[in-house]
Amino acid sequence: MNRNHSEGTALFTQHLKKATVVSIINTISELNQLQDVDLILDSTLREARALAKADAGSIFLLRNGELEFRHVQNDSIFGMSGAGLFQYSTESLPVSDSSIVGHCALTKAMVSIDDAYAIDEKLPYRFNSSFDEKNGYRTVSILAVPLISRGHSLVGVMQLINAKDRKNRATVFSEQVKALVPIFTNNAAALIERSILNRELILRMAKMAELHDPKETGVHVQRVSAFCAELYQRWAENRGLPRLEIRRFRDIISHASMLHDAGKVGIPDSILKKPGRLTPEEFDVMKQHTLYGAQLFSNISSESSALDRVTHEIILHHHERWNGTGYPHGLSGEAIPLAARITALADVFDALSSKRSYKEAWSAEMTFAEIRKESGQHFDPELVEIFFQITGILHAIQMKFQ
């Protein structure tokens, strides 16, 4: 039951229907436009599942020698709306024979299982039924595919669960599916690798801006980025925006918001690292971080990428307030770009709930009360309402990036 199918690929591709090839090419070109690793994982898994008619699937990425759980879809349990806070699970598996995913990573070969509850005793790995038990699910067939970039480097493992027959009953994965899926996943692996490097580069830029505490800045920036992505997504879904537009902008805001304080590179350490309260004069200097940062992105024109434009908006306007009392320009209401309104809420939520050099962390109750109080004052009231609809997901993000 553990076979390597890559030899069969060339043969099968000759017999592919043109429509299937066109659909793969279209998906690959759509994937190429995405920056964000989570969106690439989501598209990759969705398309691979469509190709394989699989009910569910998950992706694990190799990080620090472990396989980190990164993405899950399951039509039977979560439906099309996505897995919500399951997406922020912190589970990880060793690269070893102890699990199917671990074995797939160890051997860099596809593992195909026809019945998860009847795995040959002689095989080294066992099926872990805890997900089934927790969720009342029944796993039958499994296809674990290594994600290999540039022909050699292992990025992670994708697991497809329960191939469906015409009557939607679980069946085995066909030989054609086993030949097709790797074509797709090998390309996706290269994109995943690129997007991880991109994100690390942006994160490094963000950390440089706040060298006083690069460790703390790292997680602050990642939390703000994830809060922004989730707040935007709910805002856009409430308005019924098209799915593709939502994905594109979510991708942009998750990257752009990481750089919201990039202008702090221009603030003297004596102010940036001050342990206590700032004097009014010092605070006036501190406020310049919005303008310094915007200068880094000042040659913005109609030809600039959407990512550059939104990054500029966020850096310049993330301290504006809904009622017009913020800085640097005192804009109010919808004159403040949406991305900046979202980042303002995400940034303050994180600043209040975290310890800073100049303040202790606030309790969740005090933080929530403050955000509620500032609805329509500091913050866009529509966004505050969304904030309180997704506190579960926001909490999962805090747990993940501690």
Residue positions annotated with a catalytic role: 264
- Binding segment for Fe ion among 94-102, 256-264, 308-316, 324-332 (CB under 5 A)? 256-264
Out of 96, 168, 295, 377, the residue judged to bind ligand SIN by CB under 6 A: 295
Query: Of ligand C2E, ligand SIN, Fe ion, none, which one does residue 305 interact with (CB within 5 to 8 Å by kind)?
Result: none
Which pair of tokens denotes residue 237? Answer: 């879904």
* DSSP reduced 3-state for 88: helix
Q: Which does 348 bind (CB under 5 to 8 A by kind): ligand C2E, ligand SIN, Fe ion, none?
A: ligand C2E
Give the nearer residue to ligand C2E in terms of CB position, either 256 or 286. Answer: 286
DSSP string across 170-229: EEPPPHHHHHHHHHHHHHHHHHHHHHHHHHHHHHHHHHHHTTTSHHHHHHHHHHHHHHHH
Q: Which of residues 320-349 bind Fe ion (CB under 5 A)?
A: 347
- Residue closer to ligand C2E (CB basis): 54 or 339: 339
Q: How far is CA 189 from CA 24, 104, 168, 193, in A?
A: 15, 15, 29, 6
Distances (CA, A) of 109 to 253, 351, 354: 36, 45, 44
CA distance 364 to 210: 25
What is the number of other CB atoms lying within 10 angstroms of the CB of residue 277? 9
Considering only residues 63, 243, 356, 372, which one is a binding residue for ligand SIN as defined by CB under 6 A?
Answer: 372
Token pair for 367: 């933080």
Report the residue from 150, 358, 363, 376 that binds ligand C2E according to the rule CB under 6 A: 358
Contacting ligand C2E within 283-302 (CB under 6 A): 286
Contact with ligand C2E (CB under 6 A): which of 133, 215, 277, 303?
A: 277
Q: Look at residue 372 and give the partner it binds from Fe ion, ligand SIN, ligand C2E, none, a contact being a CB closer than 5 to 8 Å depending on partner kind.
A: ligand SIN
Q: Pick the stretch among 92-100, 142-150, 302-310, 349-357 that binds ligand C2E (CB under 6 A).
A: 349-357
Pick from 35, 347, 380, 394: which binds ligand C2E (CB under 6 A)?
Answer: 347
Q: Which of 263, 230, 257, 256 is CA-nearest to residue 395?
A: 230
Q: How far is 120 from 126, CA to CA, in rounded Å?
A: 9
Name the minimum Å distance from CB 220 to Fe ion: 6
- Helix (H) / strand (E) element for 111: namely strand 111-113
Query: Which residues make up the interface to Fe ion (CB under 5 A)?
Result: 261, 347
Residues that bind ligand C2E (CB under 6 A): 274, 277-278, 286, 319, 347-348, 351-352, 356-359
